[in-house]
Amino acid sequence: MEGFLKTEEPDGFKPRIVGVMLAVLALFVLLVLRLLYLQMVMGEEFYRLSMNNSIRLQTVDPPRGLILDRNGVKLAENRPSFDVSFTPKDAGDVGRVLGELAEHLQSPSEDLLAKVKYSRGLAAFKPVLLKQDIGRDVLAAVEARRVDLPGVSVQVRLRRNYLFGMNAAHVIGYLGEVSLDELKSGDYPGLRSGDAIGKFGVERTFDGYLRGEPGGRQVEVNANGQVMRVLQTVSPRPGRNIILTIDRELQQRAEELLEGVAGAAVAVDPSNGYVLALASSPAFNQNSFVSGIASDTWESLISHPHRPLENKAIQGEYPPGSTYKIVTALAGLEEKVIDEFTTFDCGGSLHFAGRDYRCWKKEGHGRVDIRRALAESCDVFFYRTGQRLGVDRLAWYAKACGLGARTGIGLDQEARGMIPSSAWKKKRFGVPWQDGETLSVAIGQGYDLATPLQMALLTAAVGNAGIRYRPTILQRVETVEGDVVFQAAPQEAGRLPVSPRTLKLVQDGIWGAVNGDRGTARRVHLPDIEIAGKTGTSQVVGRKDGADDYIPPHLRPHAWFVCYAPVGAPKLAVAVVVENGEHGSSAAGPIAREMVKAYLRKAPPEAQRLAVVAGGNG
Amino acid sequence: MIDRRLIHNFDWGLLLIVVLLGAVGLTTVYSAVTADPPPAAQKMLFYKQMIWFGLGLVVMTASFSFSYRVLERWAHPIYIVCILLLVAVVVFGKLAGGSRRWIALGPIHLQPSELIKISIVLVLAKYFSKGTELRGVGLRELIRPMLMTALPCGLIVIQPDLGTAGLVALIAMTITLFVKVQRRTLLLLAASAAAVVPFVWSLLKEYQKQRILTFLNPDQDPLGAGYHIIQSKIAIGSGMLYGKGYLQGTQNALSFLPEEHTDFIFSVLAEEWGVMGSLALLLLFLVLILRGLSIAHRCRDPFGLILAVGITSLLAWQVMINIGMTMGLMPVVGVPLPLISYGGSSTLTVAICIGVLMNVSMRRFLVE
């Protein structure tokens, strides 16, 4: 130390200690004055307040944000509901009051008593929620008997209301009570048990926007628990309104078309990746979740064989079947294992490694080039292309097309799909890849799996000059006042790794499927709207030689159809899967066609239900 | 052998004040904890506090059994250990109420931010006692004490425990101002603070500003801290002149008071004992603080003198902040009321403080 303090004599400090003592005295005088003010001047008033225990805190819930479709149609709003609460402290004779209340609420008074007893330990001045969402008549009866029911109070609370129950159920999702684990996780500061949060769909994904912040009031209540005076108020901040990219009419049309079958239909705008419709069938009614779902309803939802709670458009993984030939064609042309003029002879099957790999057309297609192979969905042509490519080159192209990975739409539990490679198989099963498996994979069977959303986006990219977009479901977020908080912008996810020439050939091929004389999707053809598309039929079980055997319904193949329209400057791309629908052309194609019609003609003819399940030939 | 003069010089007066305050503390803790259900489990808290008091007496005796001059030599090692403990809290502390303040050592939960209060007094007393000069300390001599204060403060802010961090800074500031800072330096520091604060303020996000404003003015948060303050004010005010009587406090009994056995224990006492009881308690605290300062006054050794002033300021600030908070004069911070609030770490810290004061008091004549 530099010795900046020179003398060893501490006497210099002594006068300062006296100064410190005076300062301490002054501060104590301040404390005493405050104490006398509180206890003598304000004493009477505070004594009165303490005797009634009359200052209470009330939470004011924020209204949850609305959910609207791209045209501003309200999908989810809030409606007032009436909840009955009871404050034991204010009741006097708890048994009598609950007895009378039980008659009005038509629930056994023992149940009410149990609820009150259960929460007794905490604090008698805290209101206990007895019954939620009572009807208007019960409300009138309780309000009329108000004087004889001390301690009983009715609160107006906002409750979620889905204006189109069953509609877009998987997209919108539902709310549920926040769980103890969620409260503990610290992700939801400011929430108390009993509060609702989004549990599924958009309600969950964008809960942060929708929820808002609660406000509250300090109130003074009288001996009956009625509010006499509001002391201080903090206004809640309402949740943000969110505007989806969904077109409600198209969504509803898709759901009508899927009625009675299990499956999914997705429509996206190829020019920006905005999701126009995301339908999954069967659906569920979101409104049954609003006040806590009844256990039997829940039971029937989770035990239903067609899994209504699953959003098949993003969670359903299906072998893409012949729709995958788009990928095989792109890869083959770009890797130059085939070209515009390459032809293969299809005799109805390909013999390879001691086995016959069949084409769907028993009598064979004859000599086909790439355009005809796509239009007529010749399996042999793509077996040969796949052989020349090998599984790993094919897998590289599939992944570059966005398959085998989540699209990033941000909804619940999106599936990845599956694109196999030789390394994957070695790792997964410990056995090397068999060349025969490449043949299956080349026509979208075997290990290949894709979600309807993935296939819709791939088709959109084919129609839109190879540009792949990340799917967007949230278009805009606004405050209640209409200020824009968030505005979506198209997010490019990548480009199809192919030349314009390659792309043109594939576009021509799938144009032929719909518009050619022998195209597999002839029945999708529309006179006024030019559609390009591809059918698919994906095996649930291996195809046996004795093909005429009876196949039980749950083992019948899934029907696929993917398309975009209008050709040239596509406004929408659609992917449809019908589980066990057998043929893409008959089961899935018409659904896609009707969706195209509904969206592009805008004024659809009166809802004509299609007999989509009825079998037909592809 | 023990020097006879030590026994002769033992500060019986200080011991009497401490015993009186401790008795008030235990009776009030009993009232505060038994108000909450379930009574049996709550009563355990009271017995625990009695054990802490017993331990406190042992720790206090230990703290005056050796010459406080030893502390001058040990100031830096103790400081380093405290810093390491604070780092340990940040790394693997026990999470309670949204912040990490504790380290679990078997059944004992150690709160190092309590110990650092004493440690900072020790290092500053050592630093400033190397001589005296009426001119005061300049900017260059202030760099080291400022760094030594900023380090633990930063570690405590991370926990986050704004109240204790502020308290440590306040104690350091009190000691520094006490040994006198050159006027030029003081003006310079004040001016630079005045320049930096608005700049830092403008960098803060809206919610951070809001949090600080709420901290300084609880009325802005009527649903959180503001509600606690109004309930505390009702409790204190409703005691009026004579109080509602021991164990008769209604605010206390109905759990309107938050943290009634720790941070808001003064409200319990004021409700049940009224003006009479509250004034008596304030008087006891005033005597305690003046006693501490007079020990400093009589000390002939600069280290002992500054040590006594620092320790006394530690106790004084806690009293002012805690009681000021319950009466709505101060921000709501978790600073316990010495000798009254429930709590092991804080009771032991106060015991060490008292022991050190006694140490300085009884050895005042032994220094040549």
8 Å CB contact of B240 and A40 = yes
Q: Which residue among A13, A35, A49 places its CB closest to the CB of B234?
A: A49
| Segment A74-82 mean pLDDT | 89
Q: Which residues of A touch B134 (CB under 8 A)?
A: 12
> Does residue B38 sit in helix, strand or coil?
coil
Q: Where in chain A is the domain with CATH 3.90.1310.10?
A: 56-148+156-244
Find chain B residues with C-beta within 8 A of A236's C-beta.
none
The set of residues, in sequence order, having a beta carbon less than 8 Å from that of B151 and lying 6+ positions away, is B83
pLDDT for the residue numbered A245:
95
Give A214-268 pLDDT, tens digit per residue.
888 877 776 556 677 787 788 888 999 999 999 999 999 999 999 989 999 999 9
Q: Which of A28, A34, A35 sits opposite B286 (nearest CB)?
A: A28
CATH fold label, A56-148+156-244: Penicillin-binding protein 2a (Domain 2) (3.90.1310)
Give the span between the Cα atoms of A74 and A525, in whole angstroms. 34
**pLDDT classification of A609: cutoffs 50, 70, 90:** very low
Residue A111 has pLDDT above 60, yes or no: yes
Are A16 and B297 a contacting pair at CB < 8 A? no
Interface contacts A/B by beta carbons within 8 Å: 162
| pLDDT number for residue A584 | 74
Could you tell me if residue B368 is inside a domain? no
Q: What is the full per-residue pLDDT of chain B (368 aa) written as tens digits? A: 467 778 888 899 999 999 999 999 999 999 888 776 666 777 888 998 999 999 999 999 999 999 999 999 999 999 999 999 999 888 876 655 555 666 666 556 678 888 899 999 999 999 988 765 656 788 888 889 999 999 999 998 887 777 888 899 999 999 999 988 888 888 998 999 888 888 888 877 776 677 677 777 777 777 777 778 888 888 899 998 898 888 887 776 666 666 777 888 999 999 999 999 999 999 999 999 999 999 999 988 889 999 999 999 999 999 999 999 999 888 888 889 999 999 888 899 999 999 999 999 998 876 54
Rounded Cα gap, residues B169 and B193, in angstroms: 14
pLDDT-based confidence at A582, cuts 50/70/90? confident
Tell me how far apart the alpha carbons of residues B200 and B192 are, in angstroms, rounded to a whole number: 12
For residues A184 and A141, the model is more confident at A141
The neighbour count for residue A570, using CB atoms within 10 Å, is 24
Q: Nearest Cβ partner of A35 from B128, B178, B327? A: B327
DSSP-derived pairing of the beta strands B99-105 and B94-96: antiparallel
What distance in Å separates the CA atoms of residue B264 and residue B227, rounded to the nearest whole number? 13
Q: Which fold has domain A248-601?
A: Beta-lactamase (3.40.710)
**Domains of chain B: total:** 1
Give the chain A residue whose CA is nearest to the CA of B321.
A31
| Interface contact B290-A24, CB threshold 8 A | yes
Q: Residue A184: which residues within 8 A CB-CB, separation 6 or more?
A: none
Segments of chain A assigned to CATH 3.40.710.10 = 248-601
- Show the domain range for B108: 4-362
Active-site residue list of A: 322
Higher pLDDT, A189 or A261: A261
Q: Inter-chain contact B131–A36, Cβ cutoff 8 Å?
A: no
Burial letters A149-179, b for 16+ CB under 10 A, else e: bbbbbeeeeebbbbebebbbbbbbbbbbebe
pLDDT tens digits along A471-491: 999 999 999 898 999 999 999
Assess contact for A592 and A535: CB atoms under 8 A. Answer: no
- B191 within a domain of the structure (yes/no): yes
Mean pLDDT of chain A: 85
Q: How far is CA B72 from the centre of its chain?
A: 21
Q: Closest Cα partner for A77 from A196, A199, A161, A168?
A: A161
Q: Given this model, what pLDDT does residue A98 score?
A: 83
- The alpha carbon of A318 is separated from its chain's Cα centroid by a whole number of angstroms, namely 19
With CB atoms and an 8 Å threshold, state whether A46 touches B274. Answer: no
List the single residue in A with minimal CA-CA distance to B235. Answer: A50
Residues A602, A606: Cα–Cα separation, whole Å: 12
Chain A interface mutation, best of B175, B238, B257, B322, highest count of A Cβ atoms under 10 Å? B238
A385 CB-contact burial (10 Å; exposed 0-12 / middle 13-18 / buried 19+)? buried
- Give the closest-approach CA distance of A195 to chain B in angstroms: 17
Alpha-carbon separation of residue A176 from A127, A204, A293, B200, B320 (angstroms): 21, 10, 9, 42, 47
The contacts of residue B14 (CB under 8 Å, 6+ apart) are: B288, B291, B295, B354, B357, B358, B361
Per-residue pLDDT averaged across A442-461, rounded?
A: 94
| Residue B270 domain flag | yes
pLDDT tier at A295, thresholds 50, 70, 90: confident
Task: Decide if pLDDT at A545 tops 50.
Answer: no
Position B367 in a domain: no
Are the C-beta atoms of A562 and A575 separated by less than 8 Å?
yes
Q: At residue A196, what are phi and psi to the nearest 5 degrees? A: -100, 140
Q: Phi, psi (5° rounding) for residue A379?
A: -70, -40
Q: Decide if B138 and A4 are in contact by the 8 Å CB cutoff.
A: yes
All residues at 6 or more sequence positions from A455 whose CB lies less than 8 Å from its CB, including other chains: A266, A320, A323, A560, A562, A575
Which residues, other chains included, contact B19 with Cβ-Cβ below 8 Å and sequence gap of 6+?
A: none
- The DSSP result for A193-237, as a single string, is TT-EEEEEHHHHHTHHHHH-B-EEEEEEE-TTS-EEEEEEEE--B
Say how far apart CA A68 and CA A244 lie, in whole Å.
Answer: 6
Question: What per-residue confidence (pLDDT) applies to A53?
Answer: 66
Q: Find the closest chain A residue to B35 by CA distance.
A: A123
For residue A123, give every residue at least 6 positions away whose Cβ sits within 8 Å of its Cβ, in sequence order, or none. B254, B255
Determine, for residues A31 and B300 on separate chains, whether the beta-carbon distance falls below 8 Å: no
Interface test with B, best of A16, A31, A44 (most B CBs within 10 A): A31
Residue at B203 is within a domain: yes
> pLDDT class for A30, splitting at 50, 70, 90?
very high
Answer with the residue of higher pLDDT: A617 or A194: A194
